[in-house]
Structure 1
Amino acid sequence: MPSRPHTPAVHRVVADVTERIRERSRQTRRDYLSRIQHAAAERGGRLTRADLGCSNLAHAVAACGGSDRAAMSGESAVSLGIVTSYNDMLSAHAPFEHYPQQVKDTARGLGAVARVAGGVPAMCDGITQGRDGMELSLFSRDVIAMSTAIALSHDVFDGALMLGVCDKIVPGLVAGALAFGHLPVAMVAAGPMSSGLPNAEKASVRRAHAAGEVGREELLAAETASYHSPGTCTFYGTANSNQLLMDVMGLHLPGAAFVSPDDPLREALTAEATRRVAEIAGSDQSYGIGHVVDEKVVVNGVVALLATGGSTNHTMHLVAMAAAAGVQLTWEDFDDLSRVVPLCARMYPNGTADVNHFHAAGGTPFLVGTLLDAGLLHEDVLTLAGPGLDRYRRMPALEDGALTWREPAAASTDLDVLRPASDPSAPDGGLRVLSGSLGHAVIKVSAVAAEHRLIEAPVRVFTDQVGFLTAFSRRELDRDVVVVIRDQGPSANGMPELHALTPSLGVLQKRGFQVALVTDGRMSGASGAIPAAIHVTPEAVHGGPIARLRDGDVVRLDADRGTLDVLVAEQEWEGREPVTTAGGETFGTGRELFAGLRHLVGRADQGAHVFGAVDTVTSPAHHLQESAS
């Protein structure tokens, strides 16, 4: 175990938010721990399959060959399940093709047995943007969680490895694994592709295409130069936010997030993850993922997200993952933490660098170290690597072919990308909760200039992206405008991301207009320089205030004060009937199969999930006041 430097006391606001979450979650967390302790007690210290009847066990080992058959038929070999999101049409998941065999070989060398327990779907929001398939995207997270549960339901595994990377895949795998919280689990990454066309150039070509200045051929060439090889896309969207969070939350091995797929270090990390899970599973002090993911680890995840300007999707995904562990996280917790957590990293869309530049500058090990030194992370947590987050200050490396971890870096090697918490890029995390007469929303302002954070303008209401893009092409929006896209919430149509809006909104802003977006849909933080009030709750289909808006109403969005209001006389506003077009076309591209999920899904500010341990989370009325450490 590495020697631990002195860790300062935890910042008062971080400590207070953590205690608030603990108190709010007291019963649900107790119930969750009771369930996983019961599952562990049923084993009585034995391997899981020891309770199987002979016929059950025969089915469980029928596909095994050689030494694996003998090991599984005995009572001493650890059995590991592999849950994989591999497919070979998506760059991020294609590298997983050979991981199962490597995991099996490593396990066999340890006297353990590893097998593919099941596969989970992995879809790409980049492909489905603006198309009907995007309406399945958010729900795929819950399908993945349920698929993970099915994979592990055979009850023959003593630990598991989760192979996944992208947007909904990692939160789904974590939630599914938490249903088997007594089992030790490693999240296993694949890493980012090498850097392609610089992000600033890609964004410039997208805006030029939206303005009609370049054609499809030039746009396609730019996109292909950006997304060009196996690995995750290199911008800091939801996929790479996932990977960073898995590092800081201790569900990866230290520093594993951003090692590229073709680096020999990647193979060594996968082997070590296998060894570590087998070691924990075979230990007298075995602990499961449900013991790792507690209130402190959830807060650490929020802090890491804020310190790096990560994806706004995690205002739902972190809430859902926490709920799966019996922890009740609210948007107000994000908001209070955001006011004291400085922005330490700038990656596109909050800067021009990509995750490869971030990793080269010091990556998650430097980030963990500087946040610990500032008292902004809980050090006293349980992780895959063992007790204590100090382990995650170190960067993995190969020395003479062997995996090791280097001592913490003293400084970032590129201050334009990664800075210490004592001298950050911005004083706060750039995420705000908005509330007012239009409901509850979140906004990401880390890339929004100060002069664009207060918008007061007439609205133009649309019910899909196509209507907006048509109006934009006709130059009907060449004015100060608050663009409203409603009927895009989880119950309406699965809450698709609305990335197709971003280039055109950017063009309007560059033409000198004051522009904002208000929607009950998602943007994933890709709104960039445009102030965007997203995830508006209640959504329009549930009669939320956004359903009462009419063209010409004046809306005031104040990101700094955290308000979102319509400036319409109260009597007129209260007398209006909500208008919604949701519930129209719900067939095609498999959308009809998800009608039940649209009916059952919870509110966006409660994680927009159907499986969690928490039925209702009420946001606390009182926010912590901003304070110095």
Structure 2
Amino acid sequence: MTHTRLHDTVTAVTRRIAERSAVSRADYLARIHEAAAQGPTRGGLACSNLAHGFAAAEPGAKDLLRGTLKPNIAIVSAYNDMLSAHKPFETFPRQLKQAVIEAGGIAQFAGGVPAMCDGITQGRAGMELSLFSREVIAMSTAIALSHDMFDGALLLGVCDKIVPGLVIGALSFGHLPAILVPAGPMTSGLPNAEKSRVRQAFAEGKVGREELLDAEAASYHGEGTCTFYGTANSNQLVVEAMGLHLPGASFVNPNTPLRDALTEAAGRQVTGLTALGDDYTPIGEVLDERAFVNAVVALLASGGSTNHTMHLVAMAAAAGIDLRWEDFSALSAVTPSLATIYPNGSADINHFHAAGGMAFLVGELLDAGLLHPDARTVAGGTLAERYREEPVLDDGSLTWRPGPTDSLDKSVLRGVADPFAPDGGLRMLTGNLGNAVLKVSAIKPEHRVVRAPARVFADQADFLTAFQNGELNRDVVAVVRHQGPSANGMPELHKLVPALGVLQDAGHAVALVTDGRMSGASGKIPAAIHLTPEAADAGPIARVEDGDVIELDAESGALRVLVDDAELATRPAAAPAASARETGTGRELFAPLRAAVGPADRGATVFRGCGVGTGPGAGPDAGVPATGGAA
């Protein structure tokens, strides 16, 4: 098979990641190769240990688990029946166990991991646990795999922190093959444009709570992932581009014959990837520098969640790879925007899938030389060999066929020859306030440059009070600080978006600057988020005062407060709000994580085991394009 020559920037970025990661990646690979050399680990367990490991198994399974001739697959699941995205996983273990048996192995449910929903905790104290739930999920995954009973893993998760946590945990057992098993999005409900209209009308006081709740309930109405393009669906797209899903598995609706067939196929496939089979494919080798570059490019081309500027960095570090925001920025400058999915447009993820979905997107990026075609995958072939394909049922049997060569709806998905924009959906901003991320794909060009006086807030509740009191009816840059990972766990601040939208629609120049998060639903407001260093670390944002003029320029990549540097440096750093709490709703249990967490641009992670993610970010390397707002 012939391939398009890789784009020079993709080659250069991949090279510099590999060079800066050489020592940590080599150390990581040495660790997992040492673990793999020990063979099926349950064979080395003492008799009492091994007996505990199969005590609850059925009689036939006990006989198999006593030996090491058949691979034992761990099932790790984020199932709960409150969250729509994870409810479908209720039946998956039974399906997967049967599929593994049919493939010549055996499977055990190794453990569950927590799954929380940012959509439920928005604006509540529980949101301050959200980002750190990724670390808890990673540790829970490691606990599930720690019993030395397993030869491979099936990881069941969908939403925001769950998938990155599962991957980080699995990478600590990187000698094992692992496949991510998605549940799929719910069917389409209330159109996203109408949902957005009702939310803004509520913010303006034009409709009441009942009308708002009716609209929300019509949007989020059944089993499956929420259909807008936030972090959950970005997870699925990114994981597939990394080769950890079966081809085309990301966006098939739950409780359908095709979804069931893909779930069962994942069980069969992972069984053949173990060291006891003929195609040993450990996850620690699949997730190399090429896989992470492919993930970033797919994220940029689709206008995906800003949360992945942290999650991908943290996941890479778990594999000994030093991925940085400057890499996102360089790749964004050459990656065209090929999709418009709400909030970047009115279509939802089901429309994207119907228009051609992953097979078309991957094919276009491969043809443009923007993805590594030879990247290893769990599908029994390279990215180029398998991920242009889409799954179908042929007389009830699962097979894959070539994906479409043209988009079926160019209002949602386009090819490289006719993109929505010539560059990616994310910008990296830098200046005397530090480094930040901005999701530009939903922002109209006329709103991408803002210069206005600052109004400083300690939290989003203070902002909403000022908005409701009519204090913000002017050009304004809302500065919401002490929302970073060290301060309060970096909650998402989505309740700000409808109010800011009202001000922008009234003709005001508005923007948001914060060390907090906004994720994939950032919307139409220019929002400089993940600002690093954060206020809790005495970052410059802690010295901004009401009335300071702030310039946010998404075109040039600038973020600065127009105050003399000497004056800014002599100002005292503002303390957190007196109302800030570190207890209640479990927040006190997460105090050690807040104390240990690193900055957002290094993944906002507490894990330092690979020696990656501990140092300060560096500027763009020589010879690598860093236009479009390099951090």
Query: Displacement, 1:246?
Result: 1.1
Residue 31 in structure 1 maps to residue 27 in structure 2: yes
Does the residue aligned with 1:253 lie in a helix, a strand or coil? Answer: coil
CA distance in structure 2 between the aligned counterparts of 1:54 and 1:287, rounded to whole angstroms:
29
Give 2:468's aligned residue: 473
| 8 Å contact from structure 1 (residues 459, 551) kept in 2 | yes
Give 1:490's aligned residue: 485
Query: Displacement, 1:626?
Result: 6.2
Q: Describe how 1:421-432 pairs up with structure 2 within 5 A.
A: 421-432=416-427
| 8 Å contact from structure 1 (residues 437, 565) kept in 2 | yes
CA distance in structure 2 between the aligned counterparts of 1:316 and 1:170, rounded to whole angstroms:
13
CA distance in structure 2 between the aligned counterparts of 1:16 and 1:582, rounded to whole angstroms:
45
Query: Displacement, 1:615?
Result: 4.2
Spell out, residue by residue over 1:87-136, the C-alpha distance to the aligned partner (whole angstroms, 9 max, x if none): 00000000000100111111222331111100000000000000000000
Give 2:56's aligned residue: 63
Give 1:131's aligned residue: 124
Aligned partner letter, 2:625: Q
Does the residue aligned with 1:383 lie in a helix, a strand or coil? Answer: coil
Aligned partner letter, 1:491: S
| 8 Å contact from structure 2 (residues 102, 268) kept in 1 | no
CA distance in structure 1 between the aligned counterparts of 2:507 and 2:229, rounded to whole angstroms:
27
Query: Displacement, 1:226?
Result: 0.1
Q: 2:337 aligns with which of 339, 343, 352?
A: 343
Q: Describe how 1:453-602 pairs up with structure 2 within 5 A.
A: 453-581=448-576, 584-602=580-598
| 8 Å contact from structure 2 (residues 242, 291) kept in 1 | yes
CA distance in structure 1 between the aligned counterparts of 2:197 and 2:415, rounded to whole angstroms:
30
Aligned partner letter, 2:245: H
Query: Displacement, 1:478?
Result: 0.3
Query: Displacement, 1:48?
Result: 2.5
Spell out, residue by residue over 1:339-394, the C-alpha distance to the aligned partner (whole angstroms, 9 max, x if none): 10000011000000001000011110111101000000001111001231121000
Q: 1:616 aligns with which of 614, 617, 623?
A: 614
Q: Which runs of 5+ in 2 are unaligned?
A: none
| 8 Å contact from structure 1 (residues 340, 626) kept in 2 | no
Give 1:406's aligned residue: 401
CA distance in structure 2 between the aligned counterparts of 1:319 and 1:477, rounded to whole angstroms:
36
Q: 2:379 aligns with which of 385, 398, 423?
A: 385
Query: Displacement, 1:582?
Result: 6.1
Give 2:246's aligned residue: 253
Spell out, residue by residue over 1:447-485, the C-alpha distance to the aligned partner (whole angstroms, 9 max, x if none): 111111111110000011110000000110000000000
Query: Displacement, 1:52?
Result: 1.0
Spell out, residue by residue over 1:245-270, the C-alpha distance to the aligned partner (whole angstroms, 9 max, x if none): 11111000001000000211111111
Give 1:150's aligned residue: 143
% identical aligned pairs: 63
| 8 Å contact from structure 1 (residues 435, 562) kept in 2 | yes
CA distance in structure 2 between the aligned counterparts of 1:575 and 1:58, rounded to whole angstroms:
66
Does the residue aligned with 1:266 lie in a helix, a strand or coil? Answer: helix
| 8 Å contact from structure 2 (residues 620, 626) kept in 1 | no
1:570–1:109: structure 2 CA closer, same or farther, 3 Å change rule? closer
CA distance in structure 2 between the aligned counterparts of 1:128 and 1:626, rounded to whole angstroms:
37
Query: Displacement, 1:284?
Result: 4.2
Aligned partner letter, 1:292: V
CA distance in structure 2 between the aligned counterparts of 1:134 and 1:192, rounded to whole angstroms:
23
Q: Describe how 1:101-500 pairs up with structure 2 within 5 A.
A: 101-281=94-274, 282-390=276-384, 391-500=386-495
Spell out, residue by residue over 1:293-342, the C-alpha distance to the aligned partner (whole angstroms, 9 max, x if none): 00000000000000000000000000000000001111110011001000
CA distance in structure 2 between the aligned counterparts of 1:403 and 1:424, rounded to whole angstroms:
32
Does the residue aligned with 1:533 lie in a helix, a strand or coil? Answer: strand
Aligned partner letter, 1:587: T
Give 2:625's aligned residue: 625
Aligned partner letter, 1:531: P
CA distance in structure 1 between the aligned counterparts of 2:566 and 2:590, rounded to whole angstroms:
39
Query: Displacement, 1:519?
Result: 0.1
| 8 Å contact from structure 1 (residues 430, 444) kept in 2 | yes
| 8 Å contact from structure 2 (residues 339, 414) kept in 1 | yes
Residue 10 in structure 1 maps to residue 6 in structure 2: yes
CA distance in structure 2 between the aligned counterparts of 1:216 and 1:448, rounded to whole angstroms:
28
CA distance in structure 2 between the aligned counterparts of 1:334 and 1:570, rounded to whole angstroms:
28
Give 1:86's aligned residue: 79
CA distance in structure 1 between the aligned counterparts of 2:486 and 2:228, rounded to whole angstroms:
29
CA distance in structure 2 between the aligned counterparts of 1:326 and 1:231, rounded to whole angstroms:
33
Spell out, residue by residue over 1:191-224, the C-alpha distance to the aligned partner (whole angstroms, 9 max, x if none): 0000000000000000000011100000000000
Query: Displacement, 1:53?
Result: 1.1
Query: Displacement, 1:570?
Result: 3.0
| 8 Å contact from structure 1 (residues 492, 582) kept in 2 | no
CA distance in structure 2 between the aligned counterparts of 1:315 and 1:121, rounded to whole angstroms:
22
Spell out, residue by residue over 1:67-90, the C-alpha distance to the aligned partner (whole angstroms, 9 max, x if none): 111111123111000000000000
| 8 Å contact from structure 2 (residues 103, 272) kept in 1 | no
Does the residue aligned with 2:229 lie in a helix, a strand or coil? Answer: coil
| 8 Å contact from structure 1 (residues 29, 325) kept in 2 | yes
CA distance in structure 2 between the aligned counterparts of 1:284 and 1:573, rounded to whole angstroms:
62
Does the residue aligned with 1:581 lie in a helix, a strand or coil? Answer: coil
Does the residue aligned with 2:23 lie in a helix, a strand or coil? Answer: helix
CA distance in structure 1 between the aligned counterparts of 2:98 and 2:278, rounded to whole angstroms:
24
CA distance in structure 1 between the aligned counterparts of 2:319 and 2:261, rounded to whole angstroms:
30
CA distance in structure 2 between the aligned counterparts of 1:580 and 1:18, rounded to whole angstroms:
41
Aligned partner letter, 2:425: G
Give 2:601's aligned residue: 605
Does the residue aligned with 1:564 lie in a helix, a strand or coil? Answer: strand
CA distance in structure 2 between the aligned counterparts of 1:232 and 1:439, rounded to whole angstroms:
34
Query: Displacement, 1:285?
Result: 4.3
CA distance in structure 2 between the aligned counterparts of 1:204 and 1:76, rounded to whole angstroms:
59
CA distance in structure 1 between the aligned counterparts of 2:82 and 2:279, rounded to whole angstroms:
41
Q: Which runs of 5+ in 1 are unaligned?
A: none
CA distance in structure 2 between the aligned counterparts of 1:147 and 1:365, rounded to whole angstroms:
33
CA distance in structure 1 between the aligned counterparts of 2:425 and 2:84, rounded to whole angstroms:
30
Does the residue aligned with 2:247 lie in a helix, a strand or coil? Answer: coil
Does the residue aligned with 2:210 lie in a helix, a strand or coil? Answer: helix
TM-score norm. by structure 2 comes to: 0.97
CA distance in structure 2 between the aligned counterparts of 1:160 and 1:72, rounded to whole angstroms:
16
Spell out, residue by residue over 1:561-592, the C-alpha distance to the aligned partner (whole angstroms, 9 max, x if none): 11111111333222101112169411111000
Bigger Cα displacement from structure 2, 599-608 vs 407-416: 407-416
Aligned partner letter, 1:433: M
Aligned partner letter, 2:587: R
Does the residue aligned with 1:381 lie in a helix, a strand or coil? Answer: coil
Does the residue aligned with 1:14 lie in a helix, a strand or coil? Answer: helix
